[in-house]
């Protein structure tokens, strides 16, 4: 394989799909029932697990809250619990944590379990998705609600070849949880039973595979991998649900870019002003979001490169090098996340072709600060 072409394999996608297929229905059925019956769902996660949860459960036909909402009724779950009980008949605390030991979710589930124990309230359930059912969060979920085991949180490895086979920085779990939450949301919105979730997963698996293969074989993809290996900064941008897609991608890319002396950013006040040679990658279903069009124009004005993933032909698709994922806004953000997920893997492959070795500490450092 020549140095100017990245490989066209994303074998970890097969692992993602297999893990979601292997979720035990006897665990999932009562978990789904809790979410289906709840009139308020509170989302809790950290890092990319949080972004996967927010993308998957966004655009839901229920009251969905997070602890950081401006109008969340308390500084923490203990303050909010009695207020939420007055407003809602059934509240599900929904937690996504691959390790089952993530710091913030671990604190939240402990606080709520103690509140349930102290008050005897029947209004709350704690429903969790974890890779380790014997973890702290997994055990609390089993006692105060329901626990779903989703495989994918494997052992750390310093092998770059292992990264290429299995996904860099535990993408396998995060993407699997995203797919599971996405189809759970869609089934609940349709008032369908839990079996519909697995039917939707089957159908979506084929769509995801097709989209990812089309994207990684596109000229746009080859172009951005070539730009990423240069001395350049990349900023991932989006608003609303697209911001979580951008965040997940920026976190993946920043560890590889830092290892070669560059940076990856999420758009916002801490992102740098554009300069010649920098990369801006925008995510937008409509391709007509005014702030993103402004960022696109400014980037080009200063000699930077602009790429985008959009859901339809639009102003942004015309003003940037764009890949279109035809889909509804409910499905677009999940599919865009999967499409973008191979970028750090193929950047690693390109660097290997050049003889550049990524340091093994990247994986350990990422686990210590984000998971």
φ, ψ for residue 83, nearest 5 deg: -70, -45
What mean pLDDT do residues 4-15 have? 69
Query: How many residues are listed for the chain in this entry?
Result: 371
Chain Cα centroid distance, residue 116: 30
For the segment 304-323, what is each residue's pLDDT rounded down to a tens digit? 999 999 999 999 999 999 99
370: confidence class by pLDDT, cuts 50, 70, 90: very low
Nearest Cα to Cα of residue 31 among 171, 202, 198 = 198
pLDDT for the residue 4: 55
pLDDT for the residue 369: 32
Q: Please determine, for residue 354, whether its predicted confidence score (pLDDT) is greater than 80.
A: yes
- What six digits make up the tokens of 124? 């709350």
Report helix, strand and coil shares of the chain as percent, to nearest 5.
Answer: 55, 15, 30
Contact call for residues 52 and 178 (beta carbons, < 8 A): yes
Secondary structure letter of residue 233 according to DSSP: -
* Interatomic CA distance for residues 353 and 347, integer angstroms: 10
What mean pLDDT do residues 254-273 have? 89
Q: Do the domains at 12-210 and 212-370 have one common CATH topology? A: yes
pLDDT for the residue 9: 61
- What six digits make up the tokens of 126? 């704690």
Q: Which residue has the tokens 């839990």?
A: 194
What mean pLDDT do residues 89-106 have? 96
Q: Please determine, for residue 163, whether its predicted confidence score (pLDDT) is greater than 50.
A: no
What mean pLDDT do residues 38-51 have? 95
Q: Please determine, for residue 158, whether its predicted confidence score (pLDDT) is greater than 90.
A: no
Contact call for residues 124 and 91 (beta carbons, < 8 A): yes
Q: Please determine, for residue 138, whether its predicted confidence score (pLDDT) is greater than 70.
A: yes
Angle, vertex CA 199, rays to CA 187 and CA 59, nearest 5: 30
Predicted model pTM: 0.91
159: confidence class by pLDDT, cuts 50, 70, 90: very low
pLDDT for the residue 368: 33
Number of C-beta neighbours around residue 352 at 10 A: 16
Domain 12-210: which CATH number of 3.40.50.300, 3.40.50.10490, 3.30.565.10, 3.40.50.2300: 3.40.50.10490
- What six digits make up the tokens of 344? 């750090």
pLDDT for the residue 270: 86
pLDDT for the residue 5: 58
Determine which of 4-8, 63-67, 184-188 has the lowest per-residue pLDDT on average: 4-8
**Mean pLDDT rounded to a whole number for the chain:** 89
Domain boundaries, given as residue ranges, for the chain: 12-210, 212-370
Nearest Cα to Cα of residue 61 among 187, 146, 204, 175 = 187
Name, in order, each residue with C-beta under 8 angstroms of 103's C-beta and a sequence gap of 6 or more: 46
Contact call for residues 176 and 19 (beta carbons, < 8 A): yes
Q: Is 321 exposed, middle or buried (0-12, 13-18, 19+ CB in 10 A)?
A: middle
- So what's the architecture of 212-370 in CATH? 3-Layer(aba) Sandwich (3.40)
Cross-strand bridge partners of residue 237: 282
Contact call for residues 148 and 168 (beta carbons, < 8 A): no
* Interatomic CA distance for residues 8 and 217, integer angstroms: 7
Nearest Cα to Cα of residue 233 among 302, 171, 289, 288 = 302
For the segment 183-219, what is each residue's pLDDT rounded down to a tens digit? 999 999 999 999 999 999 999 999 999 999 999 999 9
Q: Which residue has the tokens 């992102």?
A: 271
């Amino acid at each position: 394989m020549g140095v100017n072409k990245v490989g066209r394999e994303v074998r970890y996608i097969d692992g993602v799909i297999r893990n979601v297929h292997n979720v035990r229905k006897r665990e999932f059925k009562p978990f789904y029932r809790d979410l289906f019956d709840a009139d308020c769902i509170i989302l809790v996660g950290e890092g990319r697990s949080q972004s996967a949860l927010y993308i998957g459960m966004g655009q839901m036909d229920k009251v969905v809250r997070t602890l950081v909402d401006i109008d969340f009724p308390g500084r923490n779950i203990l303050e909010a619990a009695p207020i939420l009980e007055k407003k809602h008949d059934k509240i599900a605390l929904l937690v996504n944590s691959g390790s089952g030991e993530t710091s913030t979710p671990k604190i939240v589930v402990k606080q709520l379990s103690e509140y349930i124990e102290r008050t005897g309230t029947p209004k709350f359930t704690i429903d969790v998705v974890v890779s380790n059912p014997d973890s702290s969060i997994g055990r609390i979920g089993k006692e105060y609600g329901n626990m779903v085991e989703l495989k994918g949180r494997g052992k750390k490895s310093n092998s770059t070849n292992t990264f290429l086979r299995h996904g860099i920085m535990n993408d396998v779990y995060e993407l699997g949880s995203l797919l599971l939450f996405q189809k759970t949301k869609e089934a609940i919105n349709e008032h369908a039973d839990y079996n519909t979730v697995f039917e939707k997963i089957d159908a979506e698996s084929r769509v995801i595979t097709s989209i990812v293969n089309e994207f990684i074989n596109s000229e746009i993809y080859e172009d951005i991998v070539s730009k990423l290996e240069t001395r350049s900064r990349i900023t991932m941008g989006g608003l609303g649900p697209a911001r979580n897609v951008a965040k997940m991608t920026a976190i993946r890319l920043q560890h590889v870019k830092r290892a070669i002396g560059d940076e990856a950013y999420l758009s916002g006040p801490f992102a740098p002003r554009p300069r010649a040679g920098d990369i801006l990658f925008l995510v937008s279903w409509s391709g007509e979001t005014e702030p993103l069009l402004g960022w696109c124009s400014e980037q080009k004005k200063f000699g930077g490169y602009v790429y985008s993933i959009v859901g339809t032909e639009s102003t942004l698709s015309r003003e940037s090098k764009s890949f279109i994922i035809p889909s509804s806004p409910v499905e677009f953000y999940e599919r865009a996340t999967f499409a973008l997920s191979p970028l750090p893997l193929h950047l690693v492959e390109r660097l290997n072709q050049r003889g550049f070795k990524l340091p093994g500490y990247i994986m350990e450092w990422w686990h210590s600060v984000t998971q």
